[in-house]
Structure 1
Amino acid sequence: MTHVLVTGGTGLIGRPLVDALLARGDRVTLLTRDVDRAVALFHGRVEAIHWEELDQTRAAYAAVVNLAGESLSAGRWTSERKARIMGSRVQTTRALIRAIAQFEQKPRVLVNASAIGYYDTSETATFTERDVCLPDNFLAQVVRAWEDEASRAREAFVRVVFARFGVVLSLEGGALPSLLKPYQLGIGGTVGSGRQWLSWIHIGDVVGMLLLAIDQTGLSGPLNVTAPAPVRMREMGKTIALALQKPHWLPAPSFALRALLGEMATLVLDGQRVLPTVAQTHGYAFLYTNLQNALGDFVRTKDTRKAP
């Protein structure tokens, strides 16, 4: 049994990860600002400590998974929101690293959330973990600051993995419900030029790759958490239409989205073709390598939920 400390354990990725850890017999402690809610969410199967108690904890954690951070898509990127997005990642990671340095028994690994925003946006290039990119945009600034802070755990001889998430597909939140909605209303169509790449990943494979990062002692540094077959946005739309048996006809032009979303429009209008080379090298077996199969799983799940 492995004792795992998880931040962001009640979020989109944290919830299924915690369920998976518990299912395989691991002991899980959530680091949270609402202890009662966290324990209740998992029906008392987890322990929980408040962030203010972190420096006093004497527990020994074999692994730490840091998923804390404010949502990127919760509203326009005003100066205030940008500060919260950056601070929620850098400051919480800094506090976590400070606590790890004081632990009498250091964890074997820190798996720290990151994002493929590390890479340049491009319609022609392909990126793997070997690529070093320094794009000058807000997302890249956040990712670099986040990873730089997490890398300080190496000073305590802790193995560090940067889980660079692509576009996580889940019915519980994230991008997928927003992508599905226009098609469910019968007004779906190509977003922007349609040529931009979407490096997607099914939530089941997100969990599987995080478990890989925890367990594989030879895995460190960047880990692209993406499916091996990215698609262009036009193909994503057509695949959604096929899965839902809805038309694909009404485009959402780039200028309109930029006017509506401001700088946040980069999340849907710019993209990268990012491949999970490290996961494949370490023998990870994907549950969903094909977008049509992944979306089919979500459609079946929705139909099951509707069934009496």
Structure 2
Amino acid sequence: MKKNIVIAGGSGFIGQALIRSFHRHGHHLYILTRQASEHFTPCENIHYIQWMKKEAGDLFAKLPESIDCMINLSGASINSGRWTRKRKQLLLHSRLQSTDTLIRFIEQVKTKPCLLISASAVGIYGTSNTDTFIETSSHGNDDFLSYLASVWEKSALKAEQFGVRTVCARFGIVLGQKGGALPLLNLPYRLFIGGKIASGNQWLSWIHIEDLVQLILFIIDNQEIRGPVNFTSPNPVTMEKFGRIQAKVLKRPYWLNIPGRLVRLALGERSLMAIKGQRVLPQKALDAGFRFRFNDLEEALLDLLTKRSIEK
């Protein structure tokens, strides 16, 4: 059955993968973008709508009366620049501003959307080399990422008071051929300087972009799923294991050790993403019967680096 799907933040890596998949399924898509719609090539069933700018006009008048799903991916990239005080304010404000706009829309329209899926991150749990986190685990409170994700989710969950099923998609490290973390992670190996980062014991909870897209589709069709959902493979790995599998797939050496202090010097507080991690399991997806295609990291990397890709 064809659905009306609204995507905020559709110009990014995850958004583009979702758009391609939804379009193949014949759904009607409404992409909310900060850019003027004339910057995009028209396509059947894909409508680009400018928002978050004064000249964008009335958002309510441009969206369909009946919306099956709203997906919120908006927010400045956490992977760009040092996390200065000003940058942190931008990361927080960009997420809350877009989410609050969608909540106001939900509040005012007569026919409420059936579902809101709002992006979040596994960073909400904080970091640990020993603990395992599932959706019912407590939130961390000792770093910026856990704070950012907690505040973002709290804003999105306001949709529940209007009877809208709400899912907070806690993304792990998303692996894709043309986006996400993989191209940057591959770079040292392509330059023959790949190796262990910091202790190598930090956990990396990853997911193949194709499984991410399929899990979104699964959630749309399974109305009992709500609240936080971990978007991670059932088999997280340590950073050292990840690097050794990368080296094997890319046929490159694994030899250089990069001390954590050098990473902190280069990236500042953002180094948290490289030298610390969390072991996260997708318990809610597994309990609901979702079957991951890519459980094994080596299989996922072989698919992305040597075979076809959902991004093509």
Work out whether the TM-score is over 0.5.
yes
SS at 1:174 equivalent: coil
Asked whether 1:97 is paired with 2:103, we answer yes
How far residue 134 of structure 1 moved from its aligned partner, in angstroms, is 3.3
Q: Which amino acid aligns with 1:61?
A: I
More displaced 10-residue stretch of structure 1: 43-52 or 257-266: 43-52
Q: Aligned partners of 1:205, 1:291: CA distance in 2, in Å? A: 12
How far residue 74 of structure 1 moved from its aligned partner, in angstroms, is 1.0
Q: What is the aligned partner in structure 2 of residue 46 from structure 1?
A: 46
Asked whether 1:228 is paired with 2:234, we answer yes
Question: Does structure 1 retain, via aligned residues, the 8 Å contact 2:139–2:150?
Answer: no
Which structure 1 segments of 5+ residues have no match?
none
Q: Identity of paired residues, percent? A: 40
How far residue 300 of structure 1 moved from its aligned partner, in angstroms, is 1.2
Which portions of structure 1, spanning 4 or more consecutive aligned residues, are displaced by more than 6 angstroms? none
Q: Aligned partners of 2:304, 2:196: CA distance in 1, in Å? A: 21
Q: Aligned partners of 2:188, 2:160: CA distance in 1, in Å? A: 45
How far residue 301 of structure 1 moved from its aligned partner, in angstroms, is 4.0
Q: Which amino acid aligns with 1:168?
A: V
SS at 1:113 equivalent: strand
Q: What is the aligned partner in structure 2 of residue 36 from structure 1?
A: 37
- 1:67-88 C-alpha deviation (Å, 9 max, x unpaired): 1111111111111111111111
Does the C-alpha gap of structure 1 residues 92 and 172 become closer, same or farther in structure 2, counting only changes over 3 Å? same
- Relative to the length of structure 1, the TM-score reads 0.95
Asked whether 1:183 is paired with 2:184, we answer no
Does the C-alpha gap of structure 1 residues 55 and 76 become closer, same or farther in structure 2, counting only changes over 3 Å? same
Q: Aligned partners of 1:273, 1:247: CA distance in 2, in Å? A: 26
Does the C-alpha gap of structure 1 residues 282 and 203 become closer, same or farther in structure 2, counting only changes over 3 Å? same
Q: Aligned partners of 1:2, 1:100: CA distance in 2, in Å? A: 18
Q: What is the aligned partner in structure 2 of residue 26 from structure 1?
A: 27
Q: What is the aligned partner in structure 2 of residue 213 from structure 1?
A: 219
More displaced 10-residue stretch of structure 1: 50-59 or 220-229: 50-59
- Relative to the length of structure 2, the TM-score reads 0.93
SS at 1:13 equivalent: helix
How far residue 38 of structure 1 moved from its aligned partner, in angstroms, is 6.4
Does the C-alpha gap of structure 1 residues 37 and 228 become closer, same or farther in structure 2, counting only changes over 3 Å? farther
SS at 1:30 equivalent: strand
Q: How does 1:112-127 map to 2 (within 5 A)?
A: 112-127=118-133
What's the C-alpha RMSD, in Å, of the aligned pairs?
1.7
Asked whether 1:72 is paired with 2:78, we answer yes
Q: Which amino acid aligns with 1:113?
A: A
- The counterpart of 2:61, out of the listed 56, 61, 79, is 56
Q: What is the aligned partner in structure 2 of residue 14 from structure 1?
A: 15
